[in-house]
Amino acid sequence: MAFTPISAVYLLDVPLDNTQKNQLYFETVGAQYGYFTSRIVKSFNYVTYIRKDNKIRVQEEIDNLWNCNYVMYQNGNFANKWFYGFITRMEYVNESTTDLYIETDVFQSWLFDVTINDSFVVREHVKDDTIGKHLVDEGLDTGEYTQENYIKVDEMGESWFILAVSDNTPMGNSEISGNIYGNVVSGLTYYPFPNNTTGLNWLKDTIELYDTSGKHDAIIMLFTLPEFIINDTVNHPNGWTIGEPIKSGYDGSMGIKNFTLTVKQYMNVAGYKPKNNKLFTYPYKYLYISNNTGGNAVYRYEDFKADNLEFKLMGFVYPDPDIMLAPMNYKGTSNIDPNYEYGLMLKGFPLGSWTSDAYNAWLANNSASTAVGIVAGAGAGIVGAVTGNIGAIAGGALAVFHQLQQWYVASIQPDQAKGQANAGSFHFGYDNLDYYYSHMSIKAEFAKRIDDFFTMYGYKVNTLKVPELHSRQYWNYIQTIDINIVGSIPADDMTKLKGIFDNGVTLWHSPANILNYDLNNTII
């Protein structure tokens, strides 16, 4: 049975174009229809079937249509579906007739006829902007960095002098010298002295004690250590005293000290307050620590479990020790075990030198034999005198002379310098052999530039998921690779629809605010 096709054609003025870089997103068919019908400029009813991506001839002067850029139409006798399209060109036919060339808006025409499944999403506006949740490298120019300060950690304490000896007896200790230090067997015993006037006097007295006891060669080495290594508060709650050696074992041989740096800096980036929390993560903001001798480490705030930046200092008792600063609660470790993989080493604690009193040392080793020699020589001379033996008198006197001469020569010998006379350290001498830290960030200019980019185009996520079409109040940007869309629509339209998402599109949720990036695009 024959019937007459009836078509409705509406010409509209809308803020869209066929580049498909920006689109309007509607939650329902009713909301979509309501908006587009509110933008009607001209309406027509036809008995001619409107063909897709073709032309429509309207009875209207072309000059009255310049403000129309969009069309919606319905072939009523065939379906109730509304199709949407762009007016790509207008052509004058006569004074009352104009040809309109149309291109289907595949997004609006098929929005509610397809389903988007899990797809590889390159970029999008995320629905959860928790700091540290989105860390994919953006590959953006960050410019030069600025540092908030350069602060000395200053947790190692004062330096101490350590005297290493191979014999304990001058110190009144009958135990065999040696112990386990840092899980390594050592035949030496270590005696500590604070780096102050009192400690220096104690050290001098101890060296003199070894000289006068004839044990000067038992002093093997003099070196320095930071206080935290030897400050064993468990075994020595009142501190160290003169003559008390450093204990062996774990507590005494390895110093451990926990401390906390300034909390994470999440207020601003170089004075700029960003809208997007990714700017509070690396590489836009991070903690920098230097050992001030050429070594450094970068720590990411987001990889600490807590807001407090917890670290552990560790070091062993031995000359020129290796000091390690290691983070805790970092990249999977706890607040008990440090993350050694991300530790930063420090060396450069100097060896020292000392002087040994040559006369006292000689006297301690030779005084008995010298006295015996003098007495023996004198006795021989006396016997020679009694017996009239001139040769015996001369020999006895000569023996006494030689012994006295040895005594005199020993008495005028200069003190013997031992140890490392040139083992000083520039940084140690200037009291900056320590760790230094700084909160680093990109400059405010670059922070704003990157923040604006995130505001417009979201984050790089590079993950398999259903794209976020409406997670923000005003707009969502989506870019995919080979988006997974299914639905019963024309093949060429499906190809175009997929291309819209793969090329990147911004979906606007409020037509009145389209292209207004000044709005606070909060998470819904």
Q: Who has greater pLDDT, 225 or 489? A: 489
Q: Which residue has the tokens 């098929």?
A: 110
Which of 71-85, 466-480, 492-506 has the weakest average pLDDT? 71-85
Alpha-carbon gap, residue 523 to 459, rounded angstroms: 14
- pLDDT on residue 308: 87
Residues in the chain: 524
- pLDDT on residue 189: 87
In one letter, which amino acid is 243?
Answer: G
User: Where would I find the beta strands (DSSP E) of 374-499?
Assistant: 416-419, 436-442, 459-465, 475-481, 485-486
Q: What is the pLDDT of residues 116-155, one digit of tens each?
A: 999 999 999 999 999 999 999 999 999 999 998 899 999 9
Q: What is the pLDDT of residues 433-442, one digit of tens each?
A: 899 999 999 9
pTM higher than the cut 0.85: no
- pLDDT on residue 519: 96
User: Please, which pLDDT band fits residue 264 given cuts at 50, 70 and 90?
Assistant: confident
- pLDDT on residue 178: 72
- pLDDT on residue 431: 75
Q: Is the pLDDT of residue 397 over 90?
A: no
**What's the rounded mean pLDDT across residues 392-419?**
51
CA-based torsion, 487, 491, 496, 498: positive or negative:
positive
**What's the rounded mean pLDDT across residues 317-332?**
90
Q: Who has greater pLDDT, 31 or 179? A: 31
Average pLDDT score over the chain: 85
Alpha-carbon gap, residue 262 to 476, rounded angstroms: 36
Q: Is the pLDDT of residue 404 over 70?
A: no
Residues contacting 182, CB < 8 A, separation 6+: 253, 254, 316, 317, 318
Q: Is the pLDDT of residue 172 over 50?
A: yes
**What's the rounded mean pLDDT across residues 295-321?**
90
Alpha-carbon gap, residue 500 to 484, rounded angstroms: 12
User: Please, which pLDDT band fits residue 504 given cuts at 50, 70 and 90?
Assistant: very high
- pLDDT on residue 482: 98
Q: From the CB of residue 263, how many other CB atoms can be counted at a distance below 10 Å? A: 12
- pLDDT on residue 266: 79
What is the DSSP pairing of strand 22-24 with strand 505-508?
parallel
User: Please, which pLDDT band fits residue 330 given cuts at 50, 70 and 90?
Assistant: very high
Alpha-carbon gap, residue 91 to 54, rounded angstroms: 13
- pLDDT on residue 410: 41
Q: Is the pLDDT of residue 347 over 80?
A: yes
Q: Is the pLDDT of residue 400 over 70?
A: no
Q: Is the pLDDT of residue 484 over 50?
A: yes
Q: Is the pLDDT of residue 370 over 60?
A: no
Q: Is the pLDDT of residue 411 over 70?
A: no
Q: Estimate to the nearest angstrom the gap between the alpha carbon of 399 and the chain centroid.
A: 77
**What's the rounded mean pLDDT across residues 330-340?**
89
Q: Who has greater pLDDT, 59 or 177? A: 59
- Work out the burial of residue 294: count CB atoms within 10 Å of its CB; fewer than 13 is exposed, 13-18 middle, 19 or more buried: exposed
| Contact predicate 420/353, CB 8 Å | yes
Q: Is the pLDDT of residue 384 over 60?
A: no
- pLDDT on residue 414: 45
